[in-house]
Amino acid sequence: MQHLHNRRAVITGAGSGIGAAIARAYAVAGARLLLADRDPARLAESAQACRELGAEVVECVADVGSVEGPRPESMPVSSISAVSISW
C-alpha cells in the first residue's frame, strides 16, 4: 500500500492518539512526514515507530493549541519541500 508514496504530510498531535495513528497509517502508505507534538518524548517515540515502518520523518516540538507553548512557526516545513497533506 504505497498510494501516498513521496507525498508530504504535516501531522500535528503526532505523539499520541489519533495523530500518532494517522502518522503510522501515512508511514505505511509511503508518505514523507513532518510530525509535530508538544511532548518531545512522545513525539520521538511516534517518529521512531514511523521510521521503522519505512517513512522519512522530520520532528518538530510545537504546540499549535497554545499561545504560550512552542510555536508552530518553528516547524521546518521547508525540509520536506512542498506539503501535500496537513492534518
Any idea of the CA torsion for 80, 37, 27, 86, to the nearest 10 degrees?
-60
Q: What is the pLDDT along the chain (87 residues), one digit of tens a residue?
A: 568 888 888 899 999 999 999 999 999 999 999 999 999 999 999 999 999 999 999 999 988 777 676 555 555 555 555 555 555
Domains of the chain: 8-86 (3.40.50.720)
Q: Taking Cα atoms as reference points, which of 54, 46, 48, 45 lies closest to residue 5?
A: 54
Distance between alpha carbon 9 and the CA centroid of its chain, in Å?
7
- pTM metric for this prediction: 0.79
Task: Specify burial of residue 8 (Cβ count, 10 A radius: 0-12, 13-18, 19+).
Answer: buried
